[in-house]
Amino acid sequence: MRGIGLDAEQVARFEKLAAGDKPWRHVYSAREAAHLAAQPQAAQAFCAAFCCKEAFYKALGEFYSFPEFECLYRHGVPEQEFVLAPALKERQAIEEVRVRIDERFLGERGEFVVEVCLTRGPAPRGGFPASYLETLQVAAVEAGRRRIEEEHFSPTEVAAFGRRRAQSVAGALALKRALARLLADTGGAPAAPRDFELGHHPSGAPLLLAAPAGVALASVFVSISHTRQWAYGLAAAGR
Show the CA angle centred on residue 209, arms to residues 205 and 212, nearest 5°.
Answer: 135
Per-residue pLDDT band at 214 (split at 50, 70, 90) = confident
Query: CA 6, CA 104: separation in Å to the nearest integer?
Result: 15
Query: What tens digit of pLDDT does each residue of 228-238 get?
Result: 999 999 999 98
Q: How do residues 9-32 score in pLDDT, each as one tens digit?
A: 999 999 999 999 998 999 999 999
171 phi/psi in degrees, rounded to 5: -65, -40
DSSP 23: P
List the one residue out of 188, 232, 231 whose CA is nearest residue 211. Answer: 188
pLDDT in tens, 68-116: 999 999 998 989 999 999 999 999 999 899 999 999 999 999 999 999 9
- Residues of the chain with pLDDT > 70, as a percent, come to 97
d(CA 175, CA 198): 9
